[in-house]
Structure 1
């Protein structure tokens, strides 16, 4: 390890980071286009450290952003991402990267798969756990259809009988249609604000080339009743966002969307469908994904340093929660709730 050197880099523009982000252990969330979309949407400046071997070849990388607002200063790797695994399989390389980051006593939060070398670093403690699901696309459509749960196969047929149709769209209007669905679901089911429409637009702009971003819209009698955004990176198709209209769930539109996403992944030559993070306190969502996925792992949230909030910062957190409760009330028009989300969502990281 004596020949190892660590350099500062911009993970959006540095070609060495792009090489790492296209290699083993990488994911959508450490890809330059994803980091660019997040940072442009929320006004963040990304930072990274890249480890180089004696020949100057990149052998590891670690990226984060510094968030500084009324809630205090903290470091996140990376905000509004399912996970951001350090791009190395070696513990000593990650140690060198974290040393070079010089986070000190600042609070650093990162999410990664439970087998990441970051988990073994004594400076980091586990503060949370979530589920991850994946479906290998190592067979044809018929074989994958046989592998999924029988309940899913029945629901696919039920959606067909009900007249559900799934459109595969790559245009910005479809993104806007999905966002309206997304705002409504988060507001009326969970009493939560939604990410700003600009975030979805930036994702589309970053991934639209070569069909790497599609919006699947399930319709019934001409009405959009469910949808999802699928993104591609490094031969993996990612189910990133999904939403549906609760009163139409008996038509099984979500099953129709999931199955269409799997078929597209096979057609595009992808090796895996990544179904993303599911909080363990949402057993319904975890159970739904298990019907489609044969792989299940754990995503852990790690934290280092301290974050001492001043009384006024704690008060802001309470007020933010109260504002969310008020502005997701059913009496508030969805358009207003969406505009509020665009203003306030950055404070939830």
Structure 2
């Protein structure tokens, strides 16, 4: 299986006039939704995702929309201003894999970030490395991650031959081991997955999980049209792994995943990935977006490469003033996280701690 790293096709629309910049609410503005639903948008700039994040954490989003002389939206950039115990900062956007400035033209970036950069407040955003924002001299790159995607421009049989031979062997092993994948659009499945998610974050990574309320609000926003699907792998009636997928535009997004280490030899995750690919095919979607992986997690990057034929880079950019060095508050949050993820702490206590503290981690 070959992996392609490169740029997407050039923007099809040419800019011929000076565009007007308007402040908008990205949750409700019709033109923003139009832009977010096109090729320039993604799940993370979509109104339902922004609504779910802001409702869960009490944020108020801001955005600037670039409109052509004919009234068409040609650019958009959104962010959230945060002022809490960790100080003032701007996230564009918080709790996202990436939130690329949406540009219908290759020259549509200038002006969209002027207002937010003028504040001098530390700004952080993630976008594909070939987004024009990455070339803005007012922003500096401070991180890089891998992104993977699987085009669904084929039949199921053709897709099966495209994935790696290792993945095909693992799928056969999952079948021999009796792994069953259940797909649900119901809220109960989200609750089941969240319990698994808390266990993985706590026991493997010593991290808190995002609150259940966030998952419930995602479900509320995307359940119309059955655009949120929870997949659960079972082995002998026990849940071994799970994942939440969201549909926006013509893509299926893998957003959250969790599994139990004792079941990994049964290959429940491979069964989940293949079920997701078949789900995307059955809905006539164009691709599966597997999200980002830190480059210091080579195992995860390698695993996704077995399923994806597209690979790109996502960069983290900073603007405004440099963020303050790690403070006593940051150290305290780290120590609280360590305490609430001790093996002796019940999962329900870790869950409550995540609900209380997670908003400060953006």
Tell me the TM-score range normalised by the shorter chain. Answer: over 0.9
* Greater helix content: 1
Supply the distance in 2 between the matched residues of 1:205 and 1:24 (Cα, whole angstroms): 24
Q: Which residue of 1 aligns with 2:166?
A: 151
Q: Which residue of 1 aligns with 2:127?
A: 112
Supply the distance in 2 between the matched residues of 1:97 and 1:284 (Cα, whole angstroms): 37
User: Matches of residues 118-267 of structure 1 in structure 2 within 5 Å?
Assistant: 118-267=133-282
Q: Which residue of 2 aligns with 1:324?
A: 337
Contact 1:90–1:117 (CA under 8 A) maintained in structure 2:
no
Listed one character per residue, the Cα deviations across residues 103-123 of structure 1 (whole Å, up to 9, x for unaligned) are 431111100001101011110
Kindly report the root-mean-square deviation, in angstroms, between the aligned alpha carbons of the 2 structures: 1.3
Structure 2 unpaired stretches of 5+: 1-15
Q: Which residue of 2 aligns with 1:43?
A: 58
Listed one character per residue, the Cα deviations across residues 144-166 of structure 1 (whole Å, up to 9, x for unaligned) are 00110011001111111101100
Contact 1:236–1:271 (CA under 8 A) maintained in structure 2:
yes
* CA apart distance, 1:52: 1.1
Contact 2:17–2:68 (CA under 8 A) maintained in structure 1:
no
Matched residue SS, 2:207:
coil
Query: Structure 1 residue 344 and structure 2 residue 344: aligned?
Result: no
Q: Which residue of 2 aligns with 1:335?
A: 348
TM-score (norm 1): 0.97
Contact 1:89–1:116 (CA under 8 A) maintained in structure 2:
no
Structure 1 unpaired stretches of 5+: none
Matched residue SS, 1:95:
coil
Shift in CA distance, 320/100, structure 1 to aligned 2, threshold 3 Å: closer
Contact 1:194–1:341 (CA under 8 A) maintained in structure 2:
yes
Query: Structure 1 residue 16 and structure 2 residue 37: aligned?
Result: no
1:26 to 13, 29, 41: 41
Supply the distance in 1 between the matched residues of 2:225 and 2:114 (Cα, whole angstroms): 38
Listed one character per residue, the Cα deviations across residues 167-220 of structure 1 (whole Å, up to 9, x for unaligned) are 000110100000000000010000000000000000011001112100000011
Matched residue SS, 1:123:
coil
Supply the distance in 2 between the matched residues of 1:274 and 1:91 (Cα, whole angstroms): 23
Supply the distance in 1 between the matched residues of 2:261 and 2:222 (Cα, whole angstroms): 29
Contact 1:71–1:309 (CA under 8 A) maintained in structure 2:
no
Listed one character per residue, the Cα deviations across residues 94-150 of structure 1 (whole Å, up to 9, x for unaligned) are 111112445431111100001101011110000000000000000000100011001
TM-score (norm 2): 0.94
